C-alpha cells in the first residue's frame, strides 16, 4: 500500500459533460459541485457559463474538471488548477485524475450525497420515522441496517444500496494507483 500524506480532501467543480464523474467523486467523499447546478443561482445572468465556472473554481479554490479544451486553457490562464478529462468511461476518468496526481480517496465513504453534494449524516436511533416516509427504503431493513440521510435533500443511503457494489470497481483503481 502506498502511503499518502493526510491532506485536506481535494474539492472539485465539474463541467456539464461530467455528471457521472461528479457522482463518483461524491461517493468517494469529495466535495464536488456540478456546473449545471451553479449557473443560475450564483452568477450574474450576463456572465457566460465558462467564465462563471472559472470564477467559481477560483473563488472556492476548487480543481476544475472539464472535457473542454478551451475551458481548460482559459482556466489555466487564470491560474485555476484544472484537469482536462480525455476519456468517456468513469473509471478511466478517475484514472486520469490519479495520473495527474490528484489526491483521491479510493474508498467509498458516507460523507456526501451523490445526488446533490449535501453532507450526509447517520440516522440515529429514534429517527426511524424519516426512513418510513421513503418508499425506496425496504421496510424489513429498518432497525437492522445503518442508514444515512442527506441534510440537504433528505435522500436516504444505506451500505447495501450504495457503497458495497462500488468497492469492487474501486479495487481495480487501487491496483492502478499502487502500480503508478
Ligand atoms: Zn442530497
Rounded-to-integer distance, Cα 146 and Cα 160, Å: 10
Query: What's the CA gap between 179 and 51, in Å, rounded?
Result: 37
pTM: 0.86
Residue ranges of domains in the chain? 12-105, 120-159
113 CA from centroid of ligand 1 (Å)? 5
pLDDT on residue 4: 45
Q: How far is the CA of 37 from the centre of ligand 1 (A)?
A: 13
DSSP state, residue 102: -
Options 3.30.1360, 3.40.50, 3.30.70, 2.60.40; CATH for 12-105 is 3.40.50
Residues 6+ apart with CB under 8 A from 21: 14, 65, 85, 90, 93, 94
| 3 Cα to the center of ligand 1, angstroms | 32
Cα–Cα distances in angstroms (integers) from residue 119 to residues 48, 49, 71, in the given order:
29, 26, 29
Q: In angstroms, what is the span from residue 156 Cα to ligand 1's centroid?
A: 9
Instruction: Give the distance (Å) from ligand 1 centre to CA of residue 157.
Output: 10
What does the pLDDT read at residue 113? Answer: 95
| Mean pLDDT for back-to-back runs of 10 residues, the chain (180 residues) | 56 96 94 84 65 93 97 96 97 95 90 94 93 91 91 90 74 81
Report angle CA 164, 14, 33 to the nearest 5 degrees: 75
Model pLDDT, residue 179 = 78
Distance CA 172, CA 116 (A): 27
Amino acid at each position: 500500500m502506498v502511503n499518502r500524506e493526510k491532506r485536506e480532501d481535494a474539492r472539485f467543480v465539474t463541467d456539464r459533460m461530467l455528471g457521472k464523474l461528479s457522482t463518483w467523486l461524491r461517493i468517494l467523499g469529495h466535495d464536488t459541485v456540478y456546473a449545471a447546478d451553479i449557473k443560475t443561482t450564483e452568477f450574474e445572468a450576463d456572465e457566460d457559463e465558462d467564465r462563471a465556472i472559472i470564477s467559481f473554481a477560483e473563488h472556492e479554490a476548487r480543481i476544475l474538471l472539464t472535457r473542454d479544451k478551451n475551458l481548460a486553457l482559459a482556466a489555466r490562464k487564470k491560474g485555476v488548477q484544472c484537469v482536462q478529462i480525455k476519456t468517456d468511461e468513469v473509471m478511466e476518468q478517475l484514472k486520469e485524475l490519479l495520473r495527474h496526481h490528484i489526491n483521491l480517496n479510493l474508498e467509498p465513504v458516507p460523507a456526501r450525497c451523490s445526488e446533490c453534494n449535501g453532507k450526509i449524516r447517520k440516522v440515529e436511533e429514534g429517527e426511524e420515522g424519516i426512513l418510513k416516509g421513503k418508499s425506496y427504503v425496504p421496510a424489513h431493513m429498518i432497525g437492522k441496517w445503518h442508514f444515512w440521510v442527506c441534510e440537504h435533500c433528505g435522500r436516504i443511503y444505506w451500505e447495501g444500496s450504495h457503497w458495497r457494489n462500488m468497492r469492487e470497481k474501486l479495487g481495480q483503481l487501487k491496483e492502478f494507483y499502487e502500480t503508478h
